[in-house]
Amino acid sequence: MSQNKIGVDQWVEQYDQRVNKAKGLQGFIARTSQRLPPWGWLIVLVAVGALLPVITQNNFAIRIAGNIALMGTLALGLNVVVGYAGLLDLGFVAFYGIGAYTYAYLSSDFSGVHLPTWVSLPIIIVISALFGLVLGSPSLRLLGDYLAIVTLGFGQIFVQLMTSLTRVSLPGHERPVDLTGGPNGIINLDKLSLFGFTARTVTDHYLILLVVLAVALLVIYHLNRSRIGRAWRALREDELAAEAMGMPTRRLKLQAFAIGAAVAGFSGALFAGWQGSVFPANFDTTLLISVYAIIVLGGLGSLPGVVVGSIVMVAAPDILRDVTLAGTLFYVGVLVTLIGAIRPRWQTALLIGLVVVFGVIVRLIVGALDAQALAEPQLSNSLITNTVRSWLIIPVNATIIGNYAFGLLILMVLGVSRIKHSVWRLAALVPTLYVLIFVWETRLSQEPSVTRLLFVGVLLIVLMIYRPNGLLGQKRVEIV
């Protein structure tokens, strides 16, 4: 060990040496991820993404992947506004809608205009960016929460206008004109067509969206690593100091709004082209929340975080539609959480053993008391589920008891989280886990449509507790 230098954090200074010395798979992964340049990651992303249609012909899977790429691109735009420039813009989805509706006007029978997509896209980008400037300018004087409320208003106004501009009196027209199609939207849009290539299948759309995501990642990565990106982040950290260091904060804010809006408008156009129609309901608050969840989950300001966030947020609700898959995920999730949360490892093994014994005892007792109270378990085609169900008790009136158990479970979880002593906590976890499995098998797995949303909610809560800066976010401080 070399001599300690005062004021030098050797742990940090020697990080590279440690990584190089690390052995085995962990060391290999650490070295590779460190040495792979950003464009290398991008190539990996595109290559893996492009392999998907080769591996599977399953349109459902490719559709999900396409949605991931689309939401990822949209979230990239928001990441510039919120993650870099620190402007809490709750009207962001309106730009997505503006892009989508502009596409509809430029490529459908509704307006009678049929521009090919490669002609209309630049127009859409410019129009969206202009709207970004227009909506950004009144917001310049507003900070933080106030900006959020004002932009939320913009977003609502957009949806309302698109819903209600159906009977507008225009000069030169005798009868009121339908500008937006109202709640029924605009349908039969042209297919996306780029330089003579027309997207028809799900795979076509997916590949376009994948390329768009990659290009957007590259553009925004470049912007971030430049004077403009540094100025945006400086603005986020301390607006006054940024201004005093020579950065024109008002112009920078408008630029952030404009580029965010341009990216959103672009992805909105692709969305409209893929869906083949646009409706005001496509651009409501649910979408806004999803996009925010993506960037917060991935880590504000982190580009890989946006990709990972959109994979989780888009894929999770869709994958969880499948009951068997959801069951597997549930048990794997519980197992991984236990392994991660409980140290030393033998305690994890002990806990699982105790839960199994606990279940067997409960089954014996209930069986001895009243054997008729037990229903025949409905077996599924999943090995895990079948094993669990033949071990668990399934009461005849499972629905009602499951509801009570759900309430009990919440109380038990709260109780366990209050116990400090490790032995008692381990002991209390045994019935808690049992009730958790009971609730899953009697109630949650029976209603996948509700469960998947619950699942996503729980996932968000757990992730935010354990990784408050998001999956790939940098640690951040507010005031020190």
Based on CB atoms, which residue is closest to other proteins, 46 or 219?
219
Q: Are 182 and 176 in contact (CB under 8 A)?
A: no
- Half-sphere exposure of residue 443, counting CA atoms within 13 Å on the CB side? 18
CA separation, residue 58 to residues 53, 324, 343 (Å): 8, 18, 41
CA-based nearest residue to 233, from 302, 308, 280, 143: 302
- How far is C-alpha 37 from the geometric centre of its chain's CA atoms? 25
Closest distance of CB 301 from other proteins, Å? 9
Beta carbon nearer to other proteins, 139 or 224: 224
Three-state SS for 411? helix
Q: Residues near 76 by Cβ (< 8 Å), separated by ≥ 6?
A: 213, 216, 217, 220, 263, 303, 306
Could you tell me how many residues of this chain bind other proteins (CB under 8 A)? 32
Q: How far apart are CA 257 and CA 287, in angstroms?
A: 19
* Shortest Cβ 14–other proteins spacing (Å): 9
How far apart are CB 192 and other proteins at their closest, in Å? 23
**Closer residue to other proteins in complex, CB, 376/478:** 478
Please identify, using beta-carbon distances, which residue of 185 and 470 lies nearer to other proteins.
Answer: 470
Q: Is residue 125 within a helix (H) or strand (E), and if so which, with residue range?
A: helix 117-136
Nearest distance, CB of residue 473 and other proteins, angstroms: 10
DSSP reduced 3-state for 186? strand
Q: How far is the CB of 248 from other proteins (least distance, A)?
A: 5
- Please say which residue, 12 or 369, places its beta carbon nearer to other proteins: 12
Q: Report 221-280 residues binding other proteins (CB under 8 A).
A: 222-223, 226-228, 230-231, 233-234, 237-238, 240-249
* Binders in 9-28 for other proteins, by CB under 8 A: 9, 12-13, 15
Q: Which of 91, 178, 86, 194 has its CA nearest to residue 135?
A: 91
Closest contact distance (angstroms) between CB of 149 and other proteins is 25
Q: Which stretch binds other proteins (CB under 8 A): 161-169, 193-201, 338-346, 471-479?
A: 471-479
Q: Which residue has the tokens 């935010």?
A: 464
User: Hey, what are 348's tokens?
Assistant: 């994890």
Please, which of residues 200-219 interact with other proteins by CB under 8 A? Answer: 219
Nearer to other proteins, 84 or 434 (CB): 84
- Cβ atoms of residues 72 and 307 within 8 Å: yes
Closer CB to other proteins, 414 or 480, in the complex? 480
Write out the residues near other proteins by the rule CB under 8 A: 7, 9, 12-13, 15, 219, 222-223, 226-228, 230-231, 233-234, 237-238, 240-249, 474-477, 480
